[in-house]
Every structure is written in structure tokens, then in C-alpha cells.
Structure 1
Amino acid sequence: MMKKGTKKILVANARLNKLGGSETFTYTLIEELKSRADVFVEYFTFEKGTVSDKIENELGVSFQSLKSYDLILANHYTCVAELYKYGFIIQTCHGIYPVLEQPFCLADAYVSISQEVKTHLSKLGYATTLIYNGINTNRFYSKKTIHKKLNTVLSLCHSKAANNLIKSICEDLNVEYLQAYKYKNPVWNIEDKINESDLVVGLGRSAYEAMACGRPVVVYDNRPYFESCGDGYIKDKFELSLLNNCSGRYFKTYYDKESLKKEFLKYNNEDGDFFREVILKDFNIKNAVNQYIDLWDSTIQNDINKNKGFIKKMNRGVVSKFAFFNFWKNLSKKHKKEIILDKYPGLYAWGRIKKRFLQ
């Protein structure tokens, strides 16, 4: 029997069948919630697999079983469309480009993981709270002292082009090259790989995990959804790079082989301590979970949101046409086509939409 005062929390992510940024974030969030005596936590996903297996087998957390929850922490609009009727729901938006990261109007509150995302959602008419990507700093920490002189570089980039460029630079500098290319050799215990290196190249959560391990970082990649660019060695410009989630989109610097090599040569082993302290201060998952719970507490006391919740209960069981089309009108034509082609769960009326947008 559940103890009185226990918070019933559901954590949702559209896919948990493979490794990725939001999948790792979901695991980390559940891991922290599971450690709290006053929380009962379960998870939800449309696609089970590698990460959901770890959630069940390693954390002992089950798939959604309750008819209602005190709080639902959801990534991706499809999860909001599916779960809003089960309790108070906070949608976390991790990016500005992917269609799954767009806000859905039936959430009760919204979280942005960077100022860039916060600005994007504001333009769409959504007020959000900024909470950085939480890292388990007890898992990600320095297990091995980095070398005074650059000895090993790890690429956490998501493109073959970026990996090939970094490998070539390492050969020129006569340093060891390592990579963890998630599309070819995904690594769950990535903290061990990070601890084998002195310098890490990557974006977003990959950069934060490396920083948590006391590794200096070069923010760079060549992602398919954005032109090849980066912010470079970010020790002296971290706060600016952070505005865009260390995605490389703040400075948008194009790097060729020689210019990227210069960024590697800025390596200073003493910078590792700086990066570790930044993560402890602003990215600790314990603090992030406290911020989510504070947001929940403060929002439910707002009369406007209480009324909104009442209306949602009246509509329990369906995603109203109004809700869907209110969400739909804020999407770009490209995002609308993505939804139609992929047929994400929770949506409907494909026939009429296809006729209008896919001719």
C-alpha cells in the first residue's frame, strides 16, 4: 500500500528503444525520482527497447499502471496528447527544430532546457520555465586525471563527416582518437569512455556529461538538420554557448580542418575543474528535480490553471479538435508533413490533412 503523502509521478518519452539525449535524460530523471522516499514513479513510452529495459531491470520502475498521477513529466508533444487526461502535466521541450519538441497546448506548464528554446516557445505564445538538462553527477565525475598535454580526444559527434575531420586532426597532432558514434557503436556507460579522454568534442547533453567528468569541451558537430558549425573551445564563452544549449548555434562558426585544430590547441588541463564546478552548480539532477516539483507546486496554486484543469477533466478521454488544431496552426509546413508521414500516435484525420499538405 502506498504511503500517505507519496507523490505519484509518471515520466514519459516518445521513444525508449535506443540511446539518445532525451532517452538518457528520461532515465536520469527517473533514477533521481526513484531515490526519493516520498515519490512513486512509473514511465511511459510508445516504443520500448534498450532504455526502457534498463529502466525496468536496473531501476525497478514499471510501465504506466495507474489511472491518474499527481504529476506527469513529459518529453514530446505526442506524450502530452496521449497523457494529459491522467494528471497535471509538464512538457519539457529540448529543441527548436524537431517536430516532437514542439509544445502541445494541453500541458499545464512548460519547461525549456535553454534560452533558445524559451525564446522559440515565447514566439509561439507559451510561457516557460528554464531548467537545464539534469546530469547525475555521482555517475559522471572524473575517475582519471587528465594529462597536462593533450593526449587523447573523444568524439561524441553524430555525423561521419565530423568524426572523419576530428580523426584527421588527431593524426596531425599525434594524439589518440576515440569515438562513440551512437549510430554505429552506441555506448551506455559513456562516462567510462569520457574518462579515457582528455578533450571531448560534441554538442548539448554530450558536452555536459563530459564537463561533469572534468573534461574540457569543444562544441562542434555536423548535424543533418543544421549546417556544420560550432562554438569551439568554450572555456571563456560558456555562458554564451549555453544560451543555445551548447549546440554551436550561438556563434555558428564554420570550422575547416585548420581552424578546428586551433580550437584543440587551446586545451588546458586546469580547465577541467572549471567545467565540473559549472555542472555541479547548474546541472545537478537533484536540483533540476526540485525545480520541476517547485514549478508544479506553484502552478497548481494559480486559479487560471485550476480552471484549465477542470476543463481538461470535462474533456477526459479525447484530444479535442480544438486542442489539436490549436497545436497544428503553430507548426511549420515541414513539421506538418513530418507528422503526416510518420503518423505519430495520438493524432488523427490523416486523410484530409494529406490532401491539403502532400499534393
Structure 2
Amino acid sequence: MRILLANSAFHRVGGSETYLTTLGENLVRLGHDVRIYTRVAGDMAMLARRRGMEVVDSVDDLGAPADAVLAQDGIVAHDLAAAWPDVPQAFVCHSSLFDVQQPPIVPGITASVIVLNDRVRRRVEALNADLDVVRLTQPIDTQRFSPTSAPNQRPTRALVLSTYLDGAPRRALEEAWGRAGIELVSLGIDEVDLAPEVLMGTVDIVVGKGRAVLEAMSCGRAAYVFDSFGGDGWITPESYAAVEADGITGQLGDQGLDTSRLESDLADYSPELGRLGRELVLRHHDARRHAHDVLDVLTGLGAGHGRPPTLESEVGRQIRLRWSAEAELFGLRAEMRRTNARADNLEVWVAEEVELARKETTHARDELATVLEELEKVRERVDVLTERNQRLRRRLRRLDPEADAGSADD
């Protein structure tokens, strides 16, 4: 099947952008011809190309019509409805907040809407439109996002993965957890990373919302839902269902997370939260199963299998997949080199500290030996003075017995 995925902006890292890349990559693995249409290309477009997908940023470059379209905002949905009026179109709605991410309500554009939580489903079902709503869950690449190390029994480092957590909420987190000695590192506001799973493997806790939380759970990290919009605390097997249904927005509870709650929650940390979170993601958020479900939706709209793959198209697909695997391998090798360099630097630092400690110990021993020698000299001097004093007393007794008797009375 020839499938066109569409998002108006594909230049920065975000939840809907990473969703589209994850879905597209898994559709490519199933042998489908996947392209992405965007009006604004950038870092995410580069990442999608690296993972075997063609990205176009102009309607004029779309080429022959696809068998199905999957849009993520109203802008590209209308673009593609105008360009390909006969191609069936589905829509993935990610937000109940931003109107541009709601499906078109004009009849004849979108027939089915995929939602990834109950909060968005209620919003879509309230629209003045006859839309078929399909509830799926967020897909996570559990191979890419997988545990690379075990978190510490006592947390020492936390990753704040958010494009929103700033201002007073961030200061409250820094104050509450900083007092406990937690080092906070950040991605999302001032710094982005196309491979956040690497940094996740170096921390004990990940703080955020939405897909970022599920990715952290898949990496075996304790996931803490907290953002400028609110917070729901740790995701546990008991809280998961309600938090997931609400879209992991941090707005489920009736009360916000103040400094005292942040402190008390930190005391409840356990590395077991990471293992249990990984199991939840494997059970409910596998990206491969999600790709199958999306194909069912597109087939239900009348999208056929299109033209069978040719030798040239299949060779091209295999080459793109090979390049994707090699690019990932190069990235892992580069990270291994950086890790080894950090280990080497740490080894040098430890050796220097050991040598410094050895020198300081030797110096302290020398000083102690000197002090002991001086003390021995003092003792010898005291012995000499004591002996002299005794001789004087004996002479005094011989010269003046009465003085000696008086001294004895004293």
C-alpha cells in the first residue's frame, strides 16, 4: 500500500512528530511505501529520511496519488483533500487543546479519526460532525527505547523531558528534589535530542508528560508525570489505566503537586517502578501492533493494497532499511566511544585522586613521624628534668632535714 502521512510542521521534536515517525517506520518494515508530507521540514524530516521514508514539503512534489492518507492537522488534511479528492483519508487527533489539531468537520474529507486516549476521544465525539472514532494507544518503539542499565536503588539523577516545564513549576521541582541531592538535567526547552533514549539510560527518573513518559517507562526508568499543566506523580500498575486514559496530561487529580508533595513522592521512589513500567509499555503500547491497527483503519476506508511492489521498489526499501540500521549502528558506536571516553576520563581522575591521596597520606605519615620524634625528645627532656629535680631534693634533705620535713608536710 502507498501511504502518505502528513503533518504541517515536521521540523522539531514533539509528541505528534515522533508518533508519525514511529508509525511510518513500522509501516515501512511491513513493506509499505511510506512518504511524509509537511509544509515545514527540519530535524524530524531528516530523522524520518534516515529511517527509510521519503519526505516532501510541497504539494507539487507529491507525485502519483497514494492509496491512503493519514493526516494529523487540519492544514494538511485540506491540502491533500484538494490535491487528491478521491483518496480515502484518516486522521490522527493528538490534542483536545489546539484547534488546528482537530479533524476537519467538512463532510467528505475525513471519515475515520484515530484517538490515543479518552480525553481526546470525548473532544472528537463532541464535534458537530459524523466521524467514526477509533481508540488506539500511543505506539512506542520498544526496541529503540529499551533498558541499557539498571537505575540506582537511591535516585541521584533525573531527566526533565518537556517543552513546557518552566517557571514556577520547574523551580518547585528543583527546590524539592534539589534538597534531596537529585541532579536535574533537561531536554526539550533549550536543548533537543533526536535520540533521547541515550540520555534516559543515564538517569534514574524521567519527569514529563505524554509520549515522553511512555518512552521513559520503556527504557526501564521510573516515570513521574509533572509539567506546567499539572502533575499526577509516579506511574504505577495501579495508576496506569486512569493516567493513560487521560492522555498522561498531569491533570487527572483534583490537586496540584506542591513542594511538599514533590518531596514525599520522591521518598516513594523505587527502581522497581522502571521494571513494572517497561512491562506496561510492552503489554499496551507496542508500535508493531499499532501499525497493524492503523492498517485495519485504512483498509476499512476502502484503501486497497495498491500496486504490488516491483523488484526496484523492494530493493530500494531494503537499501533504506539497511541505511537506517547502519545509521543507528553508527550512532551507537559514537555513543559507545563517548561512554568509553567518559570512563577513561573517570579512570584517569580516580587514578589522580588515588595518587593525590597517597601523597597526602605519605606527607601526613612524615608529619606524624616528625611529631613523634619531637614528642620523644620532649619525653627525654622531661626525664632529664625529673631526674635533676630528684637529685636536688636529695641534696636539700642532706643540707636541711627540717626543710625537707616541712616539704613532706606540705
- Superposition TM-score, scaled by structure 2 size: 0.67
Deviations 1:274-297 (A, max 9, x none): 111111121111111100111122
Matched, 1:216 2:222: yes
**Alignment-derived partner of residue 49 in structure 2:** 56
Deviations 1:292-313 (A, max 9, x none): 1111223439xxxxxxxxxxxx
Over the residues paired in the alignment, what is the CA RMSD in angstroms? 1.7
Secondary structure of residue in 1 paired with 2:173: helix
2:15/2:211 contact within 8 Å kept: yes
Out of 161, 182, 186, the residue aligned to residue 192 of structure 2 is: 186
**What letter is aligned with 2:75?**
T
**What letter is aligned with 1:35?**
R
Matched, 1:244 2:246: yes
Report the Cα distance in structure 1 between the residues aligned to 2:141 and 2:102, rounded to whole angstroms: 26
**What letter is aligned with 1:80?**
A
Cα deviation, residue 128, structure 1: 0.7
Cα deviation, residue 123, structure 1: 1.2
1:153/1:197 contact within 8 Å kept: yes
Change beyond 3 A, Cα 1:252–1:290: farther
**Alignment-derived partner of residue 173 in structure 1:** 180
Cα deviation, residue 60, structure 1: 4.8
Secondary structure of residue in 2 paired with 1:219: strand
**Alignment-derived partner of residue 13 in structure 1:** 7
Task: Report the more deviating stretch, 169-178 or 58-67.
Answer: 58-67
1:230/1:252 contact within 8 Å kept: no
Secondary structure of residue in 1 paired with 2:67: strand
Secondary structure of residue in 1 paired with 2:239: helix
Cα deviation, residue 273, structure 1: 1.6
Number of residue pairs matched by the alignment: 288
Cα deviation, residue 57, structure 1: 4.0
Report the Cα distance in structure 1 between the residues aligned to 2:186 and 2:33, rounded to whole angstroms: 37
Equivalences for residues 119-268 of structure 1 within 5 A: 119-124=122-127, 125=129, 126-157=131-162, 158-161=164-167, 162-180=169-187, 182-222=188-228, 228-235=229-236, 236-268=238-270
1:92/1:111 contact within 8 Å kept: yes
1:96/1:102 contact within 8 Å kept: yes
**What letter is aligned with 2:186?**
Q
Cα deviation, residue 166, structure 1: 2.1
1:218/1:263 contact within 8 Å kept: no
**What letter is aligned with 2:46?**
D
Matched, 1:100 2:105: no
Task: Report the more deviating stretch, 137-146 or 55-64.
Answer: 55-64
Report the Cα distance in structure 2 between the residues aligned to 1:206 and 1:60, rounded to whole angstroms: 23
Secondary structure of residue in 1 paired with 2:33: strand
Cα deviation, residue 58, structure 1: 4.5
Report the Cα distance in structure 1 between the residues aligned to 2:302 and 2:51, rounded to whole angstroms: 33
Cα deviation, residue 70, structure 1: 1.1
**Alignment-derived partner of residue 34 in structure 1:** 28
Cα deviation, residue 218, structure 1: 1.2
Deviations 1:223-253 (A, max 9, x none): xxxxx42111121311111111110122153
**What letter is aligned with 1:19?**
V
**Alignment-derived partner of residue 120 in structure 2:** 117
**What letter is aligned with 1:75?**
Q
Structure with bigger helix share is 2
2:157/2:205 contact within 8 Å kept: yes
Report the Cα distance in structure 1 between the residues aligned to 2:251 and 2:271, rounded to whole angstroms: 26
Secondary structure of residue in 1 paired with 2:132: coil
**Alignment-derived partner of residue 339 in structure 1:** none
**What letter is aligned with 1:54?**
L
Report the Cα distance in structure 2 between the residues aligned to 1:215 and 1:194, rounded to whole angstroms: 7
**What letter is aligned with 2:230?**
C
**Alignment-derived partner of residue 78 in structure 1:** 75
Cα deviation, residue 190, structure 1: 0.5
Decide which structure has the larger Cα Rg and report it: 2
Cα deviation, residue 194, structure 1: 1.1
1:218/1:264 contact within 8 Å kept: no
1:241/1:251 contact within 8 Å kept: no
**What letter is aligned with 1:231?**
D
| Structure 1 residue ranges, 4+ long, deviating more than 3 angstroms after superposition | none
> How many percent of aligned residue pairs carry the same amino acid?
22
**What letter is aligned with 2:193?**
V
Report the Cα distance in structure 2 between the residues aligned to 1:253 and 1:291, rounded to whole angstroms: 36
2:111/2:132 contact within 8 Å kept: no
Report the Cα distance in structure 1 between the residues aligned to 2:154 and 2:54, rounded to whole angstroms: 44
Secondary structure of residue in 2 paired with 1:231: strand
Report the Cα distance in structure 2 between the residues aligned to 1:220 and 1:253, rounded to whole angstroms: 12
**Alignment-derived partner of residue 346 in structure 2:** none
Report the Cα distance in structure 1 between the residues aligned to 2:3 and 2:15, rounded to whole angstroms: 21
**What letter is aligned with 2:175?**
S
- Superposition TM-score, scaled by structure 1 size: 0.76
**What letter is aligned with 1:59?**
G
Secondary structure of residue in 1 paired with 2:3: strand
Report the Cα distance in structure 2 between the residues aligned to 1:217 and 1:252, rounded to whole angstroms: 20
Report the Cα distance in structure 1 between the residues aligned to 2:125 and 2:253, rounded to whole angstroms: 22
**What letter is aligned with 1:285?**
A
